[in-house]
Amino acid sequence: MSAKLNVNIDHVATIREARKTIEPSIITAAVICEQAGAHGITVHLRQDRRHIQDRDIEILREVVTTYLNVEMAATEEMLAIALKTKPDAVSLVPESPNEITTEGGLNVAGNFENIKNVVEKLKAAGIFVSIFIDPDAEQIEAAHNAGAQQIELCTAEYAELTLSARAAHGEGAQKASAEIERIKKASAQAKSLGLIVAAGHGLTYRNIGALAAIEEITEFNIGHNIISRAVFVGLSRAVEEMLTAIHQKG
């Protein structure tokens, strides 16, 4: 069976927040993704609220009919929001103030008590808990011991290695396939501990194939590349519609 796809729609909110206006609507985006067959919607409520806002989560909770996965830092503030809005799943992610995007997995082993405590409270509220970690044996063990039901393996390193066309050859290709092996091994370890395995970060139409072939991975969270593609798939129609509006005058 193929893995499920949750579409991360943060970047639709990024465009909206660039103007602090009402469009593009992330609610419309969520509905279109669901109608296209996405299995779920993922959003990241960042502490600096640079894209998704608290109110978005509240409305998405009412509108999303598939699966709402909210990524958040393991803080008291975020925990309170999750307990209030009750998404289907919470993915705990690391966050540092000046990062452009999430920079690798959460250090569960190094923050064990805090993370375990947050996991317990989320689970007690009936929320499914995933933890975003690097494909590392110690972190997988720690996520399991903290009570997570799922891990999401961070594919940032693989994504970096497959970014340029040059990476498809020679040493680049070898490094990318070594990283795939690391992810495969981590997936098998996690599954043997009873964890559900997801993966995400930097995945593209070009690099997803090798990961999709790992049968332990049952869910992907993909955002930037899909929204980037959507801009080009829709751009000529958008220009045509504006020309029509101009030609119609008054």
Any catalytic annotation for residue 51?
no
Asked whether 130 and 91 are in contact (CB, 8 A), the reply is yes
* Separation in Å, CA 81 to CA 3, 137, 202: 29, 31, 27
Stretch that binds ligand PXP, among 13-21, 50-58, 114-122, 221-229 (CB under 6 A): 221-229
What are the contacts of 135-138 at 24+ separation with CB within 8 A?
Answer: 135/182, 135/183, 135/185, 135/186, 135/187, 136/105, 136/186, 137/186, 137/189, 138/109
Note whether 207 binds ligand PXP by CB under 6 A: no
* Amino acid (one-letter) located at 92: L
Which of the residues 44, 51, 95, 152 is marked catalytic? 44
Q: Which is nearer to ligand PXP, 56 or 71 (CB)?
A: 71
Alpha-carbon distance of 148 to 131, in angstroms, equals 7
* Amino acid (one-letter) located at 100: I
Alpha-carbon distance of 70 to 79, in angstroms, equals 11
Which among 151, 213, 201 has a CA at the least distance from the CA of 177? 213
Which of the residues 11, 51, 71, 95 is marked catalytic? 71
Site string for ligand PXP, 96-135 (x = CB under 6 A): -----xx-----------------------------x---
Stretch that binds ligand PXP, among 12-20, 136-144, 218-226, 228-236 (CB under 6 A): 218-226
Q: Which is nearer to ligand PXP, 185 or 205 (CB)?
A: 205
* Separation in Å, CA 175 to CA 62, 71, 153, 182: 44, 29, 18, 11
Any catalytic annotation for residue 216?
no
Which of the residues 11, 51, 144, 201 is marked catalytic? 201
Give the DSSP H/E element, type plus range, for residue 111. Answer: none
Site for ligand PXP in 74-93 (CB under 6 A): 91, 93
Any catalytic annotation for residue 141?
no
Site string for ligand PXP, 172-201 (x = CB under 6 A): ----------------------------xx
Q: Can you tell me which residue has the tokens 């990961």?
A: 211
Q: Which is nearer to ligand PXP, 102 or 139 (CB)?
A: 102
Active site residues: 44, 71, 201
Question: Site residues (CB under 6 A) for ligand PXP?
Answer: 8, 10, 44, 71, 91, 93, 101-102, 132, 152, 200-203, 221-225
